[in-house]
Structure 1
Amino acid sequence: MTKPPMLTAQQALEHLLSNAKPVSESERVAMQAALGRVLAQDVNSLVDVPPLDNTSMDGYAVRVADTQVPGNILHIAQRIPAGSVGTTLELGTAARIFTGAPIPPGANAVVMQEDCAIPEGSTDQVQINIAPTSGQWIRRRGEDLTVGKAALMAGTFLRPQELGVAASAGLTHLNVKRRVKVATFFTGDELSLPGEPLKPGGIYNSNRDTLLACLKSLGCDATDFGIVPDNLGATRDTLRKASKDHDLIITSGGVSVGEEDHIKPAVTAEGRLDLWQIAIKPGKPLAFGAVRKSEDLKDGEAWFIGLPGNPVSSFVTFLLFVRPFILKLQGREEAQVQSYPMRADFDWSKVDRRNEFLRVRINPQGGLDLFPNQSSGVLTSASWGDGLVDCPPGQTFKAGDMVKYIPFNALLT
């Protein structure tokens, strides 16, 4: 019997995202507790920003009609620092004004101080050396935010700059989505935690710290169920425990088809598997499904994603598939992985029927260099690199060709 073709990376991602639904619960938090959270509802400004027309430069507020001839000398009738409000500007006068200060009534332009001069011996006159245009160096009331209008939209990931926008709108608290709750565990009798003695033939579990750090960078509430023995009973028991209070279960290892790979039968027994193996390298044995929270399904399901055990495969599949899935659970707008055209400064002649993701980094010449060992077990390739080249199935390229580059720094927030 012929096996059906494996899903492409895009098909697999579309399948995952079609199942993900944003968490519905939200909470109100103080501004400084909102960093890295996702806005649950639109935020309207309480004020106009700026609240009044103001100057973007230190200089002199003038009437354009008084300054049509460069070199005109005007009387300095008032001084307006930021935080003060001036009086109406009379004909033939100027106001000394400082950045952020409101424009006085009657003025319709600002001439920056570099374009002015103080006549020798004078203390209350200014020579305007250019002919300004109406509105020059004036920031209009409400040009940034308008009272009652949306300042930030639901689904926005709150970075420092979004918190600044909310603060300028006069807000002290924000309604944010609750954190997505993720359970993790790791299979493999060969695994030990750093600090423990290595077993004969054993290795340290690097995936635990890598994946938990990835989850933290995405603002998830993660629970680590540790290393689970390589047997079906222990795997099923941990799946049942992990499903109870979590939105998503992520495992690493045990997703192939060997005699010691128990994830597939365990998930099938405790829930369902919708996807198994995709046509990518590294990371072919990726599993997706769900685990029942109760036998009668009255409590719903926890989503399940099983990642490969090889460290590079686990890391890459997390970035390409788990991260977009979590973003959608969080209610964030951006879920698709973005790539950018860049120049490859290396040849790639290894044709593969799978979609390959090569570890690369940007060189001083603005091109991409390839890490020499692309094995899925060499995690230093990801540490050395600053991104991935998305190489489609069957494709080769030469140095100088443009390729699709996915930066790591865009995938870890």
Structure 2
Amino acid sequence: MPGGACGKGTMHRSVAEHQEAVTELLRRSWAGFPSPVMDDGGTPVPLSLARGRVLAQDLVAGMDLPPFTNSQMDGYAMWVDPALAGSERARPAQSESVDSGKSTSYVVGETIAAGAVPRELPPGTAAPIMTGAMLPARANAVVPVERAVPALFAEAGATVELPATAPDAFVRAQGSDVQRGSTVIAAGTILNAAHLGLAAALGCTELVVRRRVRVLLLTTGDEVLAPGDPAAANGLPPGMIFDANGALLRAALEESGVEVLHSHMVRDEPSALLRLLESRVGHAPAHSGAPEPTCDLVVSVGGISAGAFEVVRQALGSAGKHAEMEFLHVALQPGGPQGLGTFRGVPFLAFPGNPVSSYVSLELFLRPALSALLGAPTPRHRVVAALEHPLTSPLGKHQIRRGVYSGPEFESAPSVHEVGGTSSHLLGSLGRANALIQVPAGVTALQAGAKVEVWLL
């Protein structure tokens, strides 16, 4: 890309080529930042804030799980001679009930509650024990209370009959789940609820995660009002619309694991947009070395087509050496007009202004690049489904249709049907969709039953 240049919009790319271009732009730009964006070494955050973040360092267990041998059931803790493990006397209690030929009488010991440290179990004694309670020394098996006679917790000193069992029956051995020193969550993992529960069980209060990409989000248009704007207090003025892109793109960006620093709605005034960029895409003093960019990425929506008031193209075209941008057309519908480059060295992605077009642009170009470079978000799950109806598509354009996917059920294969039409302003159909139907550029018609690739939202 020539320094200080803004392209004329004559270039055409395939979807795959533009995906590669976006990924390479982010890789190259972020590699030049004073502090790493990719593989930054990580920052500790509380467990309550770690869900959805990418783990920066392996989590190594500092203790065993369970941390002590404990009972799997409410029952009686007892000793079984390991030498009898294969004998008639040592058949598992799970499959037996008490009878006169295979049961033994025991003296009932002290009850062992969860959280207590029990005394050693005397010979010939069975101690009532609660689920999760520590197994006493000289005990190696548990018989569930419902298999005792009587089938209740008797008083200490009473007698109880218990069926034959085997060593380790209904016992959770120390370290049987996690062993101290083992890697339990690998670096690069996107943390979910199960990971956080495991970390908490190991006594962690925080985890070291990669920092999130910081994004400046800009939406444009003289015809756009923010929801709640006083100008619409008595109803939306003629010729005006509410800004859907701000809420739509902010949510999609945050779902992709980035931090939206600021979201601005900009009028179609190039000088105003340029002033905003100069104030928001500056550099802050670093603790040492080169100054740090105040954001990692700029995403704009609208103002890049061939109209008379394309504010993003005009503003960046007048930015001189600060802007290195291309404006081009991708063989895609919706989402054909695209812009990419840098402003003051910070990567800049310019998406088209119709809400569905901007959303599709993020899904096809930015989200996959973030997954590839940062390990998050999780890539969209892709499946093959049967089309429930015929459809047509223009030659030479990769079409993205909003759809409703029905997963495989008993004796039925996965299928998908389109909702809404092809127009890029149809937010109602986007709201009903749970999938994006991919129609390749070389396909002009598909019959009902045709297999299509579907990205699940």
Bucket of the pairwise TM-score, normalised by the shorter protein: 0.7 to 0.9
Structure 1 distance, partners of 2:46, 2:361, is: 35
- The verdict on how the C-alpha distance between 1:200 and 1:120 changes in structure 2, with shifts beyond 3 A counting, is closer
1:273 aligns with 2:325: yes
Q: 1:169 aligns with which of 202, 208, 231?
A: 202
Identity, % of aligned positions: 29
In the alignment, which residue of structure 1 is the partner of 2:34? none
Question: 1:136, CA displacement in angstroms?
Answer: 4.0
In the alignment, which residue of structure 2 is the partner of 1:6? 13
- Would you say the 8 A contact 2:332–2:397 is kept in 1? yes
In the alignment, which residue of structure 2 is the partner of 1:17? 23
Q: 1:51 aligns with which of 55, 67, 88?
A: 67
- The verdict on how the C-alpha distance between 1:121 and 1:250 changes in structure 2, with shifts beyond 3 A counting, is closer
1:41 aligns with 2:76: no
Q: Counterpart amino acid of 1:255?
A: I
Structure 2 distance, partners of 1:213, 1:368, is: 25
Question: 1:90, CA displacement in angstroms?
Answer: 6.2
In the alignment, which residue of structure 2 is the partner of 1:155? 188
1:30 aligns with 2:46: yes
- Is 157-166 or 383-392 further displaced after alignment? 157-166
Q: Counterpart amino acid of 2:404?
A: R
Structure 1 residues 330-372: Cα deviation after superposition (integer angstroms, max 9, x where no partner): x335554331234443333435432222212245976433213
Q: Counterpart amino acid of 2:425?
A: G
- Would you say the 8 A contact 1:45–1:150 is kept in 2? yes
Alignment of 1:245-324 (within 5 A): 245-264=294-313, 266-267=315-316, 269=320, 270-273=322-325, 276-292=328-344, 301-324=345-368
In the alignment, which residue of structure 2 is the partner of 1:84? 116
Q: Counterpart amino acid of 2:72?
A: S
- Would you say the 8 A contact 1:151–1:169 is kept in 2? no
Q: 2:453 aligns with which of 385, 401, 404?
A: 404
- Would you say the 8 A contact 1:189–1:230 is kept in 2? yes
How many equivalent pairs are there? Answer: 394
In the alignment, which residue of structure 2 is the partner of 1:371? 419
In the alignment, which residue of structure 1 is the partner of 2:289? none
Question: 1:218, CA displacement in angstroms?
Answer: 4.3
Question: 1:135, CA displacement in angstroms?
Answer: 4.0
Structure 2 distance, partners of 1:222, 1:121, is: 59
Q: Counterpart amino acid of 1:350?
A: S
In the alignment, which residue of structure 1 is the partner of 2:272? 234
Question: 1:167, CA displacement in angstroms?
Answer: 1.4
In the alignment, which residue of structure 2 is the partner of 1:186? 219
Structure 2 distance, partners of 1:398, 1:52, is: 62
- Would you say the 8 A contact 1:307–1:314 is kept in 2? yes
Q: Counterpart amino acid of 2:162?
A: Q
Aligned-residue CA RMSD (Å): 3.4
In the alignment, which residue of structure 1 is the partner of 2:436? 388
Question: 1:50, CA displacement in angstroms?
Answer: 1.0
Q: SS at 2:431's partner residue?
A: helix
* Contiguous gaps of at least 5 residues in structure 1: 293-300, 409-413
In the alignment, which residue of structure 1 is the partner of 2:397? 354
Q: SS at 1:82's partner residue?
A: coil
- Is 44-53 or 228-237 further displaced after alignment? 228-237
- The verdict on how the C-alpha distance between 1:84 and 1:148 changes in structure 2, with shifts beyond 3 A counting, is same
Question: Runs of 4 or more off by more than 6 Å in structure 1?
Answer: 119-122
Greater RCO (Cα-Cα under 8 Å, separation 6 or more): 2
Alignment of 1:122-133 (within 5 A): 123-128=158-163
Structure 2 distance, partners of 1:4, 1:213, is: 31
Structure 2 distance, partners of 1:157, 1:310, is: 31
Structure 1 residues 64-122: Cα deviation after superposition (integer angstroms, max 9, x where no partner): 63433844234144543322344555666544333212334454444444555537998
- The verdict on how the C-alpha distance between 1:102 and 1:7 changes in structure 2, with shifts beyond 3 A counting, is same
- Would you say the 8 A contact 2:212–2:257 is kept in 1? yes
Question: 1:314, CA displacement in angstroms?
Answer: 1.0
Q: Counterpart amino acid of 1:97?
A: I
Structure 1 distance, partners of 2:263, 2:153, is: 80
- The verdict on how the C-alpha distance between 1:115 and 1:282 changes in structure 2, with shifts beyond 3 A counting, is farther
- The verdict on how the C-alpha distance between 1:333 and 1:208 changes in structure 2, with shifts beyond 3 A counting, is closer
- The verdict on how the C-alpha distance between 1:136 and 1:349 changes in structure 2, with shifts beyond 3 A counting, is farther
Structure 1 distance, partners of 2:244, 2:307, is: 22
Q: SS at 2:389's partner residue?
A: coil
For the pair shown, the structure with the greater C-alpha radius of gyration is 2
Structure 1 residues 272-331: Cα deviation after superposition (integer angstroms, max 9, x where no partner): 236733232221223222111xxxxxxxx21111111111111222233223444566x3
Q: Counterpart amino acid of 1:288?
A: L
- Would you say the 8 A contact 1:358–1:388 is kept in 2? yes
Question: 1:385, CA displacement in angstroms?
Answer: 1.5
Scaled by the length of structure 2, what TM-score is found?
A: 0.74
In the alignment, which residue of structure 1 is the partner of 2:250? 212
Scaled by the length of structure 1, what TM-score is found?
A: 0.81
Structure 1 distance, partners of 2:153, 2:455, is: 63
Structure 1 residues 9-45: Cα deviation after superposition (integer angstroms, max 9, x where no partner): x443333334335353744333334344443333333
Structure 2 distance, partners of 1:254, 1:192, is: 16
Structure 2 distance, partners of 1:56, 1:401, is: 52
Question: 1:380, CA displacement in angstroms?
Answer: 0.9
